[in-house]
């Protein structure tokens, strides 16, 4: 009896091992051959840093080759969305031989820890980096309370 139970246990162990290897195979299919944080984003998503400095948030997003006219920034409460498009077309009279930088659209959205005053947001695009300064709303700023 114990011999048969050991065989069943071995069979289930082998099945678990096969399932684990198959899961790993299917999870890695379609991934780019990069390591680190690059695997967490889609290929169209700009890499973004979100920082907080006292009364404001700062966002820096990599948007190389995208003009400011092709970027849309929307803020509602503590929700931020950055979207845009990059159109790559050869100049008039040129014949395209290789196209590794294709036209694309992107969208990134964030839920910020606090609400933002949308009227005071400052956006600058310099050297392919979008700089956003997002001041916190008055309701989100900490207040000192005096005790009577």
Q: Which two tokens stand for residue 28?
A: 């890695």
Cβ–Cβ < 8 Å for 46, 61:
yes
For 56, half-sphere exposure in the C-beta direction (CA atoms, 13 angstrom radius) is 11
* Angle at alpha carbon of residue 72, lines to 67 and 75, rounded to 5°: 145
The verdict on pTM exceeding 0.95 is no
CATH, domain range 40-91+101-139? 2.60.40.790
Residue ranges of domains in the chain:
1-30, 40-91+101-139
pLDDT digits (tens, 9 = 90+) for 40-96: 445 568 899 999 988 899 999 999 888 899 999 999 888 999 999 988 788 899 888
SS3 state of residue 122:
strand
**Which residues have C-beta within 8 Å of that of residue 24, sequence separation ≥ 6?**
none
């Amino acid at each position: 009896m114990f011999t048969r139970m050991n065989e069943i246990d071995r069979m289930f162990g082998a099945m678990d091992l096969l399932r684990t290897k198959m899961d790993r195979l299917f999870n890695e299919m379609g991934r780019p051959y990069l390591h680190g944080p690059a695997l967490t984003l889609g290929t169209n998503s700009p890499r973004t840093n979100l920082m907080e400095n006292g009364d404001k948030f700062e966002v820096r997003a990599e948007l190389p080759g995208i003009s400011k006219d092709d970027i849309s920034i929307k803020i509602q409460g503590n929700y931020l969305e950055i979207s845009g498009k990059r159109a790559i077309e050869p100049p008039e009279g040129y014949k395209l031989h290789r196209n590794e930088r294709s036209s694309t659209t992107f969208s990134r959205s964030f839920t910020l820890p606090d609400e933002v005053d949308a009227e005071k947001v400052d956006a600058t695009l310099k050297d392919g980096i979008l700089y956003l300064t997002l001041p916190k709303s008055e309701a989100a700023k900490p207040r000192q309370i005096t005790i009577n």
